[in-house]
Amino acid sequence: MWKVDADRGISVTLVATVATRPGMVGAPSFATYRIVGNRLGMYRIVFRYMRPWEGRAVRTLTHLVRVV
């Protein structure tokens, strides 16, 4: 499960998730996020892939977004 954290001034919302192999538990999926900037500037969005029972991320992706 991906957990998303973003700087203040930008919002990130999960729009849709599509399984690559429907009906197969644990199969990969594609996720679509909507990113909306509330103010001009540079913002950081951090995606962390983690299992809730483990408590820490096994993969982290950081993106810088410029709102113009």
Residue 12 scores a pLDDT above 90: yes
Structural domains counted in the chain: 1
Using the predicted structure, report yes or no on whether residue 61 has a pLDDT greater than 90.
Answer: yes
Phi, psi of 25 (to 5 degrees): -65, 130
Do 12 and 4 form a contact (C-beta atoms < 8 A)? yes
CB 52 within 8 A of CB 26: no
| pLDDT of 41 above 80 | yes
Query: Which structural domain range is residue 22 located in?
Result: 2-67
Specify the pTM.
Answer: 0.81
